């Protein structure tokens, strides 16, 4: 099997990165993590990648004068590693439109809510404030508009009385670690594709 070469973009803890690395370790998984890119040198996820022996590049966004210049550095790293698919996992930068267009249909993100509800940041607080009884997580194709791309996979969890952002986040994170590898498998096997702005499942 020729495995798809995946880059994971991170800014923080890297637990979804860890879940993707674990899934890719299975011989029959259709993708391998070939590169991790962090915009933060001290992100815990950088250590997760290094411990797993995955090549890691730190590209601090502050070193670049513009979004375009930062994305060009990312693009160069992706090209050098011959990347097929990009998975964002807690990557806290917004891309230029040109970058998103170039990777359209080949770039996924995970978001800790049932999109289209609760886009952006402080997502768990938004869910608690809204008083929803169910929340969850979403893997979606990345498009120019933030947290708005076609949905590849979702999982729901209950919001329980007395939940804090921490307890809700922890319950959702378990599902994130389950559905992100599933979504990557679908994309790597060509069982989902982006067509005319919609996710099409084979
Ligand atoms: C996750 O909750 C993910 O959904 C969101 O950022 C968080 C990243 O966590 N986009 P981790 O770095 O994967 O542990």
Q: Is the peptide bond before 116 cis (omega within 30 degrees of 0)?
A: yes
DSSP one-letter string for 131-191: T-SEEEEEEEE--SSTT-SPEEEEEEEEPPTT--HHHHHHHHHHHHHHHHHHHHHHHHTTS
90 Cβ inside 6 Å of ligand 1: yes
- For residues 102 and 78, give the distance between their C-alpha atoms in angstroms, rounded to a whole number: 12
- What integer pLDDT is reported at residue 181 of this predicted model? 98
Quote the pLDDT of residue 92: 95
| For ligand 1, mutation pick of 10, 15, 108 (most atoms within 8 Å of CB) | 15
The finding on whether 12 has its CB within 6 A of some atom of ligand 1 is yes
With a 6 A CB cut-off, is 176 part of the ligand 1 pocket?
Answer: yes
| Distance separating alpha carbons of residues 170 and 149, to the nearest angstrom | 24
Say which of 61, 95, 111, 177 is annotated catalytic: 111
- 115 CA from centroid of ligand 1 (Å): 15
> With a cut of 50, which residues of the chain have pLDDT below it?
none
pLDDT at 130: 98
Amino acid 100: pLDDT: 97
Query: Is 147 near ligand 1, meaning CB less than 6 Å away?
Result: no
Q: What is the spatial distance between Cα 138 and Cα 144, in angstroms, rounded to a whole number?
A: 17
Give the list of residues 6+ apart from residue 32 with CB closer than 8 angstroms, or none.
3, 4, 5, 6, 24
């Amino acid at each position: 099997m020729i495995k798809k070469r995946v880059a994971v973009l991170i800014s923080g803890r890297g637990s979804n990165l860890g879940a993707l690395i674990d899934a890719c370790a299975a011989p029959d998984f259709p993708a391998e993590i070939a590169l991790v890119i962090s915009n933060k040198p001290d992100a815990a996820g950088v250590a997760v990648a290094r411990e797993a022996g995955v090549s890691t590049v730190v590209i601090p966004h502050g070193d670049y004068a513009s979004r375009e210049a930062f994305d060009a550095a990312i693009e160069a790293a992706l090209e050098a590693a011959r990347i097929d698919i990009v998975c964002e996992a807690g990557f806290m930068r917004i891309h230029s439109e040109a970058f998103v267009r170039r990777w359209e249909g080949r770039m996924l993100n995970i978001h800790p809510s049932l999109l289209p509800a609760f886009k952006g940041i402080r997502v768990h607080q938004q869910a608690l404030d809204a008083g929803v009884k169910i929340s969850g997580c979403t893997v979606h194709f990345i498009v120019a508009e933030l947290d708005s791309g076609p949905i590849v996979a979702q999982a729901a969890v209950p919001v329980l009385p007395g939940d804090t952002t921490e307890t809700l986040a922890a319950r959702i994170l378990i599902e994130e670690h389950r559905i992100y590898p599933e979504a990557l498998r679908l994309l790597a096997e060509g069982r989902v594709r982006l067509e005319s702005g919609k996710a099409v499942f084979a």
